[in-house]
Structure 1
């Protein structure tokens, strides 16, 4: 159960990212609108988790999946950030949602802060 906490934190932060974005454009932050904004990034996040576990397993063998630490900045946090960003933007484009360059830059910054930032903070606190 403890292994799912980092995944849950990531989901909450991606939902929060979507809420912030919708709120900044005076759009409804609950209901179908939020789901429409969340699903591309949520799918990218889920794919990132699959990739991160596969990378750990490939490097260290199948038993690595049991030892996998979802709190690691590298490579886990970076994989999750890139997968959420790239996957989210590709799915938004395919589904007819906007992917303006300014939005990509804002999303890249916020998702890095959220998905890598909390992991870095945990590592710093654990090192003390």
Structure 2
């Protein structure tokens, strides 16, 4: 169950990234356009989960979180190039930062909460 939640958080963050990006550029809200923007990053995310075996410790910040993040961005950008989609430098920076905040952010929170739980258990 934990892996399902972790995967869901990652997928949701990619979808939030796509939704905000498309809205900020006033692109039509069509499902096809949304899917066309999302698929490279979702594939990159899936590749990252596979390469880093994220199901073993999906909430680990390092190396899993960092690996999944970098893989999602790199594979996503390569697929965008192959699909004839834009990869302007500003877009690459925004995508890297935004995806990093989300994909690493929830893992960082989980790490802190896990540490507090361990500390609290030590005083029982």
TM-score normalized by the length of structure 2: 0.89
Which structure has the larger Rg over C-alpha atoms? 2
Structure 2: stretches of 5+ with no match in the other structure? 117-124
Distance 2:20 2:67 in 1: 23
1:15-94 map, 5 Å? 15-53=15-53, 68-94=56-82
- Note closer, same or farther for the CA distance 1:85–1:6 as it changes in structure 2 (3 Å cut): same
Pairing partner for 1:98 from 81, 86, 96: 86
Distance 2:11 2:27 in 1: 21
TM-score normalized by the length of structure 1: 0.86
Runs (4 or more) in structure 1 with deviation over 3 Å come to none
> 1:27-67: per-residue Cα shift (whole Å, max 9, x none)?
134400110000000000000000111xx8xxxxxxxx6xx
Structure 1: stretches of 5+ with no match in the other structure? 57-64
Say which is worse superposed, 39-48 or 23-32, in terms of deviation. 23-32
C-alpha deviation, 1:16, in angstroms: 0.6
**Number of residues of Structure 1 aligned to a counterpart in Structure 2:** 116
